[in-house]
Structure 1
Amino acid sequence: MSLGQDGPPTRTRMPEGHGAHGGGTRRPQPRRALVTVVGVVVLLIAALAFANRGGGPSADGAGEGSGTASGGSTGSRGSGAAPTAPTGQKPVEGKSDAGIPAGFAHTEQGAQSAAANFAVALGSTDMFNAGRRHAIVGAIYDPAVSAALQADLDRAYSGATLKSLGLSADGTAPAGLTFVSRTVPIGTKTTAGGSADARTVEVWCTDLIGLAGTGSTKPVSTAWFTITEKLVWAGGDWKIRSSTQKEGPAPVAADNQAASADEIAGAVRDYGGFTYAR
């Protein structure tokens, strides 16, 4: 759903239902092979421990331009896919007044982490509550656009939109049902171009949305989409200047038996979300 025709091109997701090298054939001796394996494992453990202390190489270096959000990823410069691995950059410790992670690093990794966390906030149930929505928008959007955006979002999160999701006029679920709206970032990447104070980050996501509980006519379903966030460095942190969204890429659905409505409601209640940091 495109919002703010006269403002920034911001789009908020509103679901409607919702060979080996070197040659040679000699097999290694068992003892030598064991020593080699143990040595590699020890080196990997040491490298991971060193990275998690934040004492590795430049935090903005190894993963430039590609990677996943949760837990981070690195890869050689110019390569396509990047394996999942800690980058050495410590997660943010601060939070905004809206409870959203804040204080992201003024780096490419920091921008990717910010974009992932912003996607989570924009896909949460809090966006369906006027007070919480205003706090979220004020916390993650550039002040130059947030005021005008508030009115657009108030109109979007009302009337037919809430009714189509089975919610009341104030965004609450009917008695006995649990409203589920949760976005989960799968990975992030920074697009070409940009500058130290302006980055464009794509966040590949899946989500859950619907009403969980006995008798629900809007069962919880999943979708896949990619959010493109144009970020600017404002007030000492990354903020959204504008965002757009497109469908996919969506994988082939697994042949899983669907859980009952009560099981889904319990899972959403018992399993908390994550703070995403590169």
Structure 2
Amino acid sequence: MIAAGALVVVAILVALAMGTTGSNERRAPTATTGPPRVQTSAVPSGPAEERAGMPVGYSRDETGAVSAAVAFATASQRWLYFGDDEVEAAVRAIATPSSADELVARVVEEVSKAREQLGESPGRVWWLVRPLAWSVLDRSDERATVEVWAVTVLSAAEVAAPQAEWRTFTVDLAWSGGDWTLEDIRDTAGPTPMVGPGDRPWDAIPFDEALEGFVRLDGEPVR
């Protein structure tokens, strides 16, 4: 069963990708860009280095903008395991100077609450954020808007039953300091597929036991 605070935890974790910082209305493509280009192939390469635990150093072209948007939309994958000071440094590493203070305040608060709630679980916490597809809505030399469709998976014994959350993140980027930086991000629910006919609900403990010995593809340990 899901513990009393589970729904709060889920809401916080969904917000960890900073989707609460703006309107949840999706921006239509501009007249100059035409229909958005939806991509389902491998995420393009982009970052040249890492700073404060975040990939940075993207090319100024569309490939670089997409790579930055995908990294920023799924950054909560890393932040849950950071301390508050590390979260602040990570957000400042990718945010525009004008948006950094607001983003830091929101993300540090959300991560801290989620970390505290999930810390009550006596077992391992499965928290995975994975990008699935992307679409460029608009891009110039100075700005870009990219949508990222992603799924999050959460399971924590006595805190949250195994569940998946499907979201589309709209990421606004600005070219600042020789790199693509995060100006704003917002999210909408879905599109959400139905579960398969052979699927069934799982409880957190058998879910974790079934994954015993599995290694996350990003190499991070399950904690």
Question: Same fold by TM (over 0.5)?
Answer: yes
Within 5 Å, which residues of 2 pair with 1:227-266? 227-254=169-196, 255-257=198-200, 260-263=206-209, 266=212
Q: Are the equivalent residues in 2 in contact too, given 1:127–1:133 (CA < 8 A)?
A: no
Deviation digits for residues 213-244 of structure 1 (CA, Å, limit 9, x no counterpart): 5xx34122101110001001111111110011
Distance 1:110 1:65, change over 3 A: farther
Structure 2 match to 1:68: 39
How far 1:132 moved relative to its partner?
2.9
The one-letter code of the counterpart of 2:155 is G
**Cα distance between partner residues in 2 of 1:131 and 1:264:** 35
SS in structure 1 of the partner of residue 51 of structure 2: coil
The CA RMSD over aligned residues, in Å, is 3.3
Structure 1 match to 2:5: none
The one-letter code of the counterpart of 1:246 is T
Distance 1:101 1:266, change over 3 A: farther
Structure 1 match to 2:30: none
Please, what TM-score do these two structures have when normalized by structure 2?
A: 0.70
Q: 1:197 aligns with which of 142, 146, 169?
A: 142
The one-letter code of the counterpart of 2:150 is C
Structure 2 match to 1:271: 216
Deviation digits for residues 45-91 of structure 1 (CA, Å, limit 9, x no counterpart): xxxxxxxxxxxxxxxxxxx952436624xxxxxxxxxxxxxxxx6x2
Distance 1:125 1:70, change over 3 A: farther
**Cα distance between partner residues in 1 of 2:123 and 2:107:** 25
The percentage of aligned residue pairs carrying the same residue is 24
| Contiguous gaps of at least 5 residues in structure 2 | 1-10, 23-34
**Cα distance between partner residues in 2 of 1:69 and 1:98:** 29
The runs of at least 4 aligned residues of structure 1 exceeding 6 Å deviation read none
The count of aligned residue pairs is 189
Distance 1:220 1:140, change over 3 A: farther
Distance 1:264 1:139, change over 3 A: farther
> Which structure's CA Rg is the greater one?
1
Structure 1 match to 2:96: 142
Structure 2 match to 1:174: 120
Distance 1:172 1:130, change over 3 A: farther
Structure 2 match to 1:209: 154
How far 1:172 moved relative to its partner?
5.5
| Contiguous gaps of at least 5 residues in structure 1 | 12-63, 73-88
Higher relative contact order (CA 8 A, sep 6+): 2
